[in-house]
């Protein structure tokens, strides 16, 4: 199976904004609404940040936002904070093609 492609690492200074890309094929994003993003701190389980491309669970800060254009989904973190330093994974639901859920390769975010 082919994972969605993410940059291995992205860094930014406190207060800055960064964007993480997630690129797949047309079959990965056929259900273009079903893209989600997860944050994972070392030794912890993933935490849902964004679902349905751009929706946030109620407890998630507005600093996290999602979008999609063609076969690339993006997660933007604004006002970068030290606690944002973690691994981030995108995930897409593929409707028909198995595996139904495919994750991105993961991006390590470093706050300088």
Partner 1 sequence: QVHLQESGPGLVKPSETLSLNCAVSDDSITTNWFSWVRQPPGKGLEWIGEIFHDGTTHYNASLRSRVSISMDTSENQVFLRLNSVNAADTAVFYCARHRTGSNTFDSWGQGTLVIVSS
Q: Taking CB under 8 A as the rule, does residue 98 contact partner 1? A: yes
- Among 16-24, 61-69, 70-78, 90-98, which window interacts with partner 1 (CB under 8 A)? 90-98
DSSP string, the chain: --PBB--SEEEE-TT--EEEEEE--TTTTSSTT-EEEEEE-TTS--EEEEBTTTB--TTS-TTEEEEEETTEEEEEE-S--GGG-EEEEEEEE-TTSSSSEEEB--EEEEE-
> Closest separation between CB of residue 35 and partner 1, Å?
9
Taking CB under 8 A as the criterion, the residue among 1, 13, 26, 69 binding partner 1 is 1
Q: Is 30 in the site for partner 1 (CB under 8 A)?
A: no
Contacts with partner 1 by CB under 8 A lie at 1, 3, 31, 34, 36, 38, 45-48, 51-52, 55, 57, 89, 91, 93, 98-106
């Amino acid at each position: 199976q082919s994972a969605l492609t993410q940059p291995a690492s992205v860094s930014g200074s406190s207060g800055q904004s960064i964007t993480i890309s997630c690129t797949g094929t047309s079959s990965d994003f056929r259900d273009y609404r079903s893209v989600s993003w997860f944050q994972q701190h070392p030794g912890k389980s993933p935490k849902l940040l964004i679902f349905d491309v751009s929706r946030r669970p109620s407890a998630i800060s507005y600093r996290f936002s999602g979008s999609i254009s063609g076969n690339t989904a993006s997660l933007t973190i604004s006002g970068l904070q030290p606690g944002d330093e973690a691994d981030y994974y995108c995930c897409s639901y593929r409707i028909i093609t198995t595996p139904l859920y495919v994750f991105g390769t993961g991006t390590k975010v470093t706050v300088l």
